[in-house]
């Protein structure tokens, strides 16, 4: 009788370990399959954004940009554009950050990148983890 009881206890322990392993595996699968938020505090590096081209790291092709030359990644507009967020004419400065200098517009104020119609590739320079729901690109 003692042998049968010991055998049943061993099977119970083994099945508990198996159940535990299955629960752990299911949990890990659920975590990896769940949608993830994008973490993208930064700026467009290629083709270089107006703010990036103010930075010494990108050749200072844009001059007299104010403090954005030290922090091109700090331009962040409020969520909800176009219903909320920067108004027309204030998009480049994310609503007037850094004094709105980036919103100045003349025919020769900014270095111009050549962009062709159709599919383009944009490369981001990520500088810090920051939950982002979506990106909008405005080419001016």
Cβ–Cβ < 8 Å for 40, 132? yes
Q: Which residues make Cβ contacts (< 8 Å) with residue 49, sequence separation at least 6?
A: 43, 72
Q: What is the pTM of this model?
A: 0.62
Sign of CA dihedral 77, 82, 84, 89: positive
pLDDT above 90: residue 80:
no
Cβ–Cβ < 8 Å for 125, 52? yes
Q: Give the per-residue pLDDT at 94.
A: 86
Query: 60 or 43: which carries more pLDDT confidence?
Result: 43
């Amino acid at each position: 009788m003692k042998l049968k009881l010991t055998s049943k206890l061993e099977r119970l322990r083994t099945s508990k370990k198996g159940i535990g392993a299955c629960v752990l595996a299911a949990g890990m699968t659920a975590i990896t399959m769940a949608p993830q938020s994008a973490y993208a505090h930064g700026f467009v590096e290629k083709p270089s954004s107006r703010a990036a081209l103010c930075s010494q790291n990108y050749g200072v092709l844009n001059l007299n940009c104010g403090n954005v030359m030290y922090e091109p990644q700090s331009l962040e507009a409020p969520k909800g554009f176009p219903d909320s967020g920067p108004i027309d004419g204030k998009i480049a400065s994310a609503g007037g950050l850094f004094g709105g200098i980036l919103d100045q517009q003349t025919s020769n104020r900014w270095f111009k990148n050549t962009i062709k119609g159709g599919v383009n590739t944009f490369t981001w320079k990520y500088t810090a983890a920051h939950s982002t729901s979506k990106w909008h690109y405005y080419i001016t």
